[in-house]
A and B are shown apart, each in its own frame.
Chain A
Amino acid sequence: MNLTKTVETLRVKIDKLVNKQTNLMEVCGTHTNVISASGIRRILPKKLRLLSGPGCPVCVTAQTDIDWVIKLARTNEAIITTFGDLMRVPGSESSLEKEKANGANIRVVYSPLDAVKHAQNNNKPVVFIGVGFETTIPTIAGAVIKAKEQKIKNFYVLSFFKLIPPALHKIVNSPEINVQGFILPGHVSAIIGSKPYEFLVKDYNKSCSITGFEPIDILQGIVLVLEQIKSNKPQVAIQYDRVVEIQGNLEAQNIMNQVFKNTDAEWRGLGIIKNSGLEFTKTYQDFNAKNHFAIRVSRPKETSCQCGEVLLGLIIPTECKLFAKGCYPSNPIGPCMVSSEGACAAYYKYER
């Protein structure tokens, strides 16, 4: 292995900084993917473990929410529009991909604005499945504001959004989780800034670095966290300073807060987390798909899927009982094996 010069210097730095078992959590799904796809995991010292956190937006979507959409798709009352990430995520007994094969009108879009266009070009109701964290939420809020301005009456959104800081609260409060530092998501932080993470430093003494998405960004982010651990001076460092500012994107925060307000939300595998989801504000309630369609779903059947523990970083994918034994990308039982952002899919593809 002949590493490029910059990478080799960073690798040596990391090697020197790690002298005992150290666990860092990378929260964002794209980080998990880049770490595996670029081969970073293979050049890190054995004592340094990178655990994947709940940073894959479809992995954390509750099973009941997916069952709800599948039931709606089967009624054929609406055109379902979604990001591609959700297509293969299993509900209790089906998935959007299987429903599409059975004739349901399900369309993959690149932008929520495309879903608004589908609504303009059809008189049938168009429902957009709103998944994602603080990077994606303002884009959907923006699309809703656009739809309201243009008086579009047949556009609805399902609010399955999740917020990162409350999930981090849950992680650091779980005694069985042994994580010394966090690689924080670059683009979520471009929106919310660095302040919402400060509780990790003040209340839990965790070392943090907001990190970009190139392999060198990630290695630099790891160095910053390890230096904080070694000097025992934890802080919320910003490695990705070419994009992230301390206060974040105020315009995006303002648009997000116009359309949505905080509420509790159920995370798949993690249970209900207080104030970790969003619901429509009064002004935008008529875009709420749940007000428009009377769909009932029962509690999902339990599987021995351990995605919850993977999402909390308690185990790495290969330690799950079902990993590559019944749970494959071709036959995913848990969501983490589906989305290429999911930890298990990345491990199955790059790490075996």
Chain B
Amino acid sequence: MCLAIPAKIISKTGDTAMVDVSGVQREANLMLCPDARVGDYIIMHAGFAIHLLDKKDAEETLQMLSDIKDLANNN
């Protein structure tokens, strides 16, 4: 799915990384984002990392997603 939630790389072996999305782990191939390293955030699609988010963008996205939850609760 075109998933907006960034996935965090928690381990890496060769061009395959284990990533975490909201507490769900899955392998993601890093062929399309070769500079991705452990601790980075990526956008995952069909089992591949298709974009490597820089730190600022990742925080911004996660903040926005959690904002929506608090925003909605105290509107």
Direct A–B contact in complex, judged by CB atoms less than 8 Å apart: yes
Interface residues of A (CB under 8 A from B): 2-6, 28, 30, 83, 110-114, 132, 135-136, 138-139, 142, 145-146, 185-187, 190-191, 212-217, 241-243, 249, 251-252, 255
Residues of A within 8 A of B51 (CB): 187, 190, 243, 249
Query: Can you name 27 A-B residue pairings with CB atoms under 8 Å?
Result: A6-B67, A110-B46, A113-B29, A135-B2, A136-B45, A138-B48, A139-B32, A139-B47, A142-B32, A185-B2, A187-B2, A187-B45, A187-B51, A191-B50, A212-B4, A213-B3, A214-B68, A215-B68, A216-B68, A242-B57, A242-B60, A243-B53, A243-B61, A249-B32, A251-B31, A251-B33, A252-B32
Partner of A251 from B2, B32, B57 at Cβ < 8 Å:
B32
Sorted nearest first, the 10 A-B pairs with minimum C-beta distance are: A111-B47, A242-B57, A30-B2, A139-B48, A4-B75, A213-B4, A252-B32, A139-B46, A142-B31, A190-B51
- Of all chain B residues, the one with the shortest Cβ separation from A110 is B47
- Of all chain A residues, the one with the shortest Cβ separation from B52 is A249
Q: CB-defined interface of B47-75 with A at 8 Å, one 1/0 digit per residue?
A: 11011010001001100110110011001
B43 CB → nearest A CB, Å: 6
Residues of B within 8 A of A110 (CB): 46-47
- Of all chain B residues, the one with the shortest Cβ separation from A245 is B51
Residues of A within 8 A of B67 (CB): 6
When A and B form their complex, what is the total count of cross-chain residue pairs whose Cβ atoms lie within 8 Å?
A: 94
Check A216/B50 contact, CB under 8 A, given A4-B72, A28-B2, A255-B32: no
- Of all chain B residues, the one with the shortest Cβ separation from A132 is B46
Check A111/B46 contact, CB under 8 A, given A139-B32, A242-B61, A249-B33: yes
Residues of A within 8 A of B53 (CB): 242-243
Residues of A within 8 A of B64 (CB): 214, 216
Q: Assuming A251-B31, A255-B32, what are 20 further A-B pairs, CB within 8 angstroms? A: A4-B71, A110-B47, A111-B46, A111-B47, A114-B47, A132-B46, A135-B2, A138-B48, A139-B32, A139-B48, A139-B50, A142-B29, A146-B29, A187-B50, A187-B51, A214-B68, A216-B64, A243-B51, A249-B33, A251-B34
* Chain B, 8-55, CB within 8 A of any chain A CB: 29, 31-34, 43, 45-48, 50-51, 53
Residues of B within 8 A of A132 (CB): 46
B4 lies within 8 A of A217 (CB): yes
A152 CB → nearest B CB, Å: 15
Partner of A214 from B1, B4, B34, B48 at Cβ < 8 Å:
B4
Residues of A within 8 A of B65 (CB): 214
B57 lies within 8 A of A112 (CB): no
Residues of B within 8 A of A216 (CB): 64, 68
B37 CB → nearest A CB, Å: 15
Instruction: Give Cα A111–Cα B48 distance, bound, in whole angstroms.
Output: 8
Check A138/B32 contact, CB under 8 A, given A113-B47, A242-B60: yes
A1 CB → nearest B CB, Å: 11
Residues of A within 8 A of B1 (CB): 30
- Of all chain A residues, the one with the shortest Cβ separation from B61 is A242
Instruction: Give Cα A59–Cα B56 distance, bound, in whole angstroms.
Output: 36
Instruction: Give Cα A117–Cα B68 distance, bound, in whole angstroms.
Output: 39
B46 lies within 8 A of A112 (CB): yes
Residues of A within 8 A of B34 (CB): 251
A187 lies within 8 A of B43 (CB): yes
Instruction: Give Cα A4–Cα B32 distance, bound, in whole angstroms.
Output: 37
Residues of A within 8 A of B75 (CB): 2-5
- Of all chain A residues, the one with the shortest Cβ separation from B70 is A4
Instruction: Give Cα A34–Cα B65 distance, bound, in whole angstroms.
Output: 15
Residues of B within 8 A of A113 (CB): 29, 47-48
- Of all chain A residues, the one with the shortest Cβ separation from B71 is A4
A138 lies within 8 A of B47 (CB): no
Interface centre among A28, A186, A214, A215 (most CB of B within 10 A): A214
Residues of A within 8 A of B57 (CB): 241-243
A326 CB → nearest B CB, Å: 30
Instruction: Give Cα A139–Cα B65 distance, bound, in whole angstroms.
Output: 26
